[in-house]
Amino acid sequence: MKPLKLENISVKFDQKPVINDVSLSLQSGKIGCFLGPSGCGKTTLLRVVAGFQRPDAGIVMLGGEVLSSSTRVVQPEHRNIGMVFQDFALFPHLTVAENIKFGLRGWSKRDAQRRVDELLDLVGLSSLARSYSHQLSGGQQQRIALARALAPKPDLLLMDEPFSSMDTELREQLAREVRSILIEESMSAIIVTHDQFEAFAMADDICVLHEGRVQQQANGYSLYHEPANPFVANFIGDGVILDGQVLSHNEVKTELGFIYGEIAPNLPVGCPVQVLVRPDDVVHDDDAPDHALVVNKAFRGSEFLYTLQMPSGVRVLCLAPSHHNHAVGSKIGVRLEVDHLVVFPQH
Amino acid sequence: MFRDRLAKFSQMFRLWQWLIFFIAALFSIPALSVFSALFESQNAIWDHIKQTVLSDYLANSFILVVGVGVGTLLLGVSTAWLTSLCRFPAKRVFSWMLLLPMAMPAYVIAYTYTGLLDFAGPVQSYLRAVMGWGYGDYWFPEVRSIGGAITMLSLVLYPYVYLMARAAFIEQSICVLEVSRTLGCSPWQSFRRVAVPLARPAIVAGLSLVLMETLADYGTVSYFGISVFTTGIFRTWFGMGDEVAAAKLAAMLLTFIFTLVVLERVSRAKAQYHHTSTKYSQLPEYRLSKGRAVLAMLVCAIPVVLGFVLPATILGVWTVETYASMVDKHFFVLAWNSFSLAAIAAIISVFVALILAYGKRLFPSSMIKVAVRVSGMGYAIPGTVVAVGVMVPFAWLDNTLDSYARANWGFSTGLILSGTAIALIFAYVVRFLAVSLQAIESGLGKIKHSMDDAARSLGCSPAQSLYRVHIPLMKGSVLTALLIVFVDIMKELPATLILRPFNFNTLAVRAFELASDERLADASSAALMIVVTGLVPVLMLSYSITFSRAGANS
């Protein structure tokens, strides 16, 4: 397995920058993810890695070999990078087994057949070897597409929005299955998605992209609790950003009260800041001195997600156990209980 | 930065692209060589032509174009309207039978009707026998006239207008027609005020094809002895042996045709109507009263019977009468010549079309698109003109090569290109590339681009994925392209007449020669063979238009 390295990649479409000086790396054997809203450039970046899109600047390296630079371009067919396409792109004129065998040119007949059987077994669809793609369900097509991409033992596997055409219930199960298949094959992979839960379920290392730039690269837990900037804070999970002021090196004042936690040394005392407040940071407590107006509520089974309006007019989200059922328009007591203090400087 | 640009530039111009530019350059040789004749100095024959026959050529070509234009519009639009929006008995049968005349080459129908209707033919002989008339006692329309030529060409060319108009009528969302009815238009008025104006771009497209074919026709006008550009080119070339004057005539004809093409493009660009509703319900059909239904059947039957059934029957009868003497060893040599030429040229044409269409898919730059379009422009060039445009440069090349070989190596190379089937096959491919290109491009267009990417990511080069993925996926389009080009070449007459190697005959040439020698019945077996082969793609087309239409319940 080989690590992937992107250095200063830029891509322009008609003079419009789509990827803007992106550098990142992915350790071998890990599952990475390009996560971002639509139009953030994540699919373009994936196509740069695959070799379908030539970058205007920058270097793509896989295990020390330069795949793309200003002087050298390795064609996609010579990169040894597998890809699972958003629409699966199974060849309709070939059977399932022939699809999987497609990339095994140069293998002996016996080895190729063994590899096909092995992969059919791995994805649990041995009985469909002679079927054609139009006879398969979406989930089956997905797994065949995966098997086909894995067959030639690529150095890296790319998956473009692999679950976007699936039912929501199916998605999570498939994501788990695919992850275990990738781990079993000890495959380095990159998936592209706009769905953070899919990213959390699949990836070890998530790279959040926005406007063609890397916003943050970290694992899911860190992205949620330690977002690097307001975009990531807003994009990952629910939350509200409040105005506040630094009181000391570990204390911020907001209109919901004082919040304690570590504050970066570049934010001096008295500095105006923005503070991220997650719904689970706002605790509903009937005995709390502060009260907020219930503006909206959404039932989520075991919990209610309340939208609350503070006396100053600022709105926050609050996750409360569902036996705390309060009507819209009533006032409830709230207090802050922040485990991870996230502070950004005011602009 | 500079190195970056350089790498990009070299990447852009890879082998495949050079191949496309080479094909475009090679295929524009005929048109360029014809146009270059315009700049050659005047000569005596050209002055002679200008003073004597050029005005005839212009006048006759003009009358022919107007006449065939009106004739095909009348036949094509009326039958298209009836078969798409009215209900009458046998409508479905008519809707595909109306395409049958496409299988009938114009020169074949021309001499068939001549055999039927001229002085010695069965019709006039019967009239004389029954009425007791003698020569000069009665008036009978002369088939071999410009009116006859207009009728013959209209009868076999109207299907182009019919096809386009019918497709346009069927695609018109029914809402517009219903709206026009609620606004007080009678069916006839909504036809005139809504349906036809909406279908106009399509009708004009069909009409421009018809006019192109009319200007390109050689067999009919030559057989009827009408002086138009194509016959003039032929006569100047072979009768007067003046290739410069012939090329000048060809260049004039080509200018008219390119003007036609440009006019059609412009009219389409201006009148790009968009259907405002996408609601295609099952087309409601106007139920015709009994009398009108009979009239509708008659209107549809006339072109089918006159354009196909009657001449095909006559050919059949003649073939039965003459096959014992005509269908012999020589006939099979002719058939073999026709089939093998058509097959070779069709395969080359599809191969070139694959290179061009797939290249355009790989490198969709505007330069490549222009090159591909230039390569396909041969379809607008009449066979006579292509032949002249191929002959002049090929003969020059052969002579240059020959004199070089004689001077330096002491032997003659002969006519390697112009004296062999190579020139003929090249002319065929130039002339009919557009046909295969269109079929291949539409086939490729249906293949998703992720298929290309998938094949590449699984280790296929572009050429390998064309072979392993694209061609198997569009097998149908490839076969259609092969078939249509094959049949077009079987029917082709003027280029074959000019470019065929010495002592080399095909079915089309033989049929035309026998007919020109007034051995009409003897020509029928070769002609029938061409018609029957031509039926195959026409029947396939009928099948596909009968079973595919927007809004039909499948």
* Rounded Cα distance, B170 and B277, in Å: 13
pLDDT in tens, A74-115: 889 999 999 999 889 999 999 999 999 999 988 999 999 999
Write down the pLDDT at residue B282.
54
Assigned domain for B541 exists: no
CATH number at residue A103: 3.40.50.300
What is the average pLDDT across A203-225? 91
B261 and B342, same domain (yes or no): no
Does residue B6 carry a pLDDT above 50? no
In a domain, B524, yes or no: no
Span A162-189, average pLDDT: 83
Has residue B34 been placed in a domain? no
Looking at the fold, whether A92 and A190 belong to one and the same domain comes out as yes
CB B196 within 8 A of CB B164: no
What the block records as the tokens of B480 is: 């259609």
Residue A206 DSSP SS3: strand
**pLDDT of B271:** 57
B180 and B303 belong to one structural domain: yes
Q: B302 and B373 share a domain? A: no
CATH number at residue B343: 1.10.3720.10
When pLDDT is cut at 50, 70 and 90, the band that residue B154 belongs to is very high
pLDDT at position A1, please? 63
Of B450, B459, B472, the CB nearest to A77: B459
- Between B3, B450, B459, which is nearest A103 by CB? B459
Instruction: Decide if pLDDT at B301 tops 50.
Output: yes
Q: Say if residue A323 is in the same domain as residue A223.
A: no
A71 and A206 co-located in one domain: yes
Domain closes at, from A174, A202, A234:
A234
Say whether pLDDT at B10 is over 70.
no
User: Tens of pLDDT along B213-264?
Assistant: 898 899 899 999 898 988 988 888 877 778 788 888 888 888 888 888 888 8
In angstroms, the Cα distances linking A206 to A9, A11, A19, A24, A176 are 18, 21, 17, 11, 16
Residue with the larger pLDDT of the pair B3 and B180: B180
| Chain CA centroid to CA A110, Å | 39
- Regarding whether A133 and A17 lie in a shared domain, the answer is yes
Task: State the average pLDDT for chain B.
Answer: 84
**Residues B303 and B398 placed together within one structural domain of the fold:** no
pLDDT, tens only, A226-248: 898 889 998 998 888 888 888 88
Tell whether B203 and B165 lie within a shared domain: yes
Assess whether B471 and B497 both reside in one domain: yes
Only one residue has tokens 């999987």, namely A100
Most A CBs within 10 A among B458, B468, B469, hence the mutation to make, goes to B458
- Asked whether residue B277 carries a pLDDT value surpassing 70, the answer given is no
Query: ipTM score of the complex?
Result: 0.82
Query: Do residues B90 and B146 both lie within one domain?
Result: yes
Q: Check residue A174 and give its pLDDT.
A: 81
**B296 and B365 in a common domain:** no
Q: How confident is the model at residue B175 (pLDDT cuts 50, 70, 90)?
A: low
Tally the domains of chain A: 2
**Lowest pLDDT segment from A243-257, B151-165, B271-285, B536-550:** B271-285
Q: Is B291 on the interface with A (CB under 8 A)?
A: no
Same domain, A188 and A267: no
Residues B232 and B338 in one domain: no
* Residues B188 and B300 grouped into a single domain: yes
Residue A189: pLDDT over 90: yes
Residues B427 and B481 in one domain: yes
pLDDT at res. B256:
87
Percent of chain B with pLDDT over 90: 27
Residue B438 is predicted with a pLDDT of 87
Q: Which residue has the tokens 């062999």?
A: B420
Q: The tokens of A66 are what? A: 């330069």
User: Which of the four pLDDT bands, split at 50, 70 and 90, describes residue A66?
Assistant: very high
CB contact under 8 A, A75 and B456: yes
- B 450-469 near A (Cβ less than 8 A): 450-451, 453-461, 464, 468-469
Q: Does the pLDDT at position A24 exceed 60?
A: yes
Q: How far is CA B539 from CA A18, B152, B338, B484, B536, in A?
A: 51, 21, 21, 12, 5
| Chain A residue at shortest CA distance from B471 | A93
- Containing A209, the helix (H) or strand (E) segment is strand A205-210
**Six-digit token pair at B205?**
């497209």
pLDDT at B281 over 60: no
B442 is in which domain, residue-wise? 327-516
Q: What is the pTM of this model?
A: 0.81
- Number of structural domains chain B divides into: 2
Collect contacts of A125-128 with beta carbons under 8 A, ≥24 apart. Answer: A125/A96, A128/A96
Instruction: Count the Cβ atoms, other than its own, within 10 Å of residue B136.
Output: 6
Looking at the DSSP bridge assignments, the partners of residue A216 are A208
Residue B167: predicted pLDDT: 81
The answer to whether residue B274 scores a pLDDT higher than 60 is no
Q: What is the pLDDT of residue B1?
A: 42
Find the closest chain B residue to A83 by CA distance: B457
Give first-to-last CA distance, chain B, whole Å.
Answer: 58
Q: Among A207, A234, A261, give the residue marking a domain's end.
A: A234
**Same domain? A212 vs A169:** yes
Q: In which band, very low, low, confident or very high, does the pLDDT at B67 lie, cut at 50, 70 and 90?
A: very high
pLDDT of residue B7: 46
Domain range for A318 is 239-345
Kindly state whether residue B539 falls inside one of the protein's structural domains. no
DSSP string for B20-50: HHHHHHHHTHHHHHHHHGGGSPP-HHHHHHH
Interchain contact, A52 vs B454, CB within 8 Å: no
CATH number at residue A250: 2.40.50.140
Residue B319, in any domain of the structure? no
CB contacts of B473 in chain A (<8 Å) are 91-93
CA distance A13 to chain B (A): 14
The mean pLDDT of A157-172, rounded to a whole number, is: 83
Q: Are residues A244 and A189 in the same domain?
A: no
Question: Is 50 exceeded by the pLDDT of residue A158?
Answer: yes
Q: Specify the pLDDT at position B545.
A: 66
Domain boundary among the residues B270, B289, B312 is at: B312
Check residue B549 and give its pLDDT.
46
Which of A162-171, A278-287, B69-78, B322-331 shows the highest mean pLDDT? B69-78
Q: How far apart are CA B273 and CA B201, in angstroms?
A: 8
Task: Point out the residue among A52, A75, A152 whose CB comes nearest to the CB of B458.
Answer: A152
Q: Which residues of A133-146 are buried (b: 16+ CB within 10 A; e: fewer)?
A: beebeebbbbbbbb
Q: How close does chain B come to A81, measured CA to CA in Å? A: 6
Residues A209 and A271 in one domain: no
Highest mean pLDDT among A64-73, A254-263, B137-146, B302-311: B302-311
Q: B504 and B439 in one domain? A: yes
Residues A194 and A54 in one domain: yes
A193-205 in b/e form (b: 16+ CB < 10 A) is bbbbebbbbbbeb
Which of A234, A262, A291 corresponds to the end of one domain? Answer: A234
Q: pLDDT tens for residues B490-523?
A: 888 989 988 888 888 899 998 888 888 888 888 8
* Chain B touched by A83 (CB under 8 Å): yes
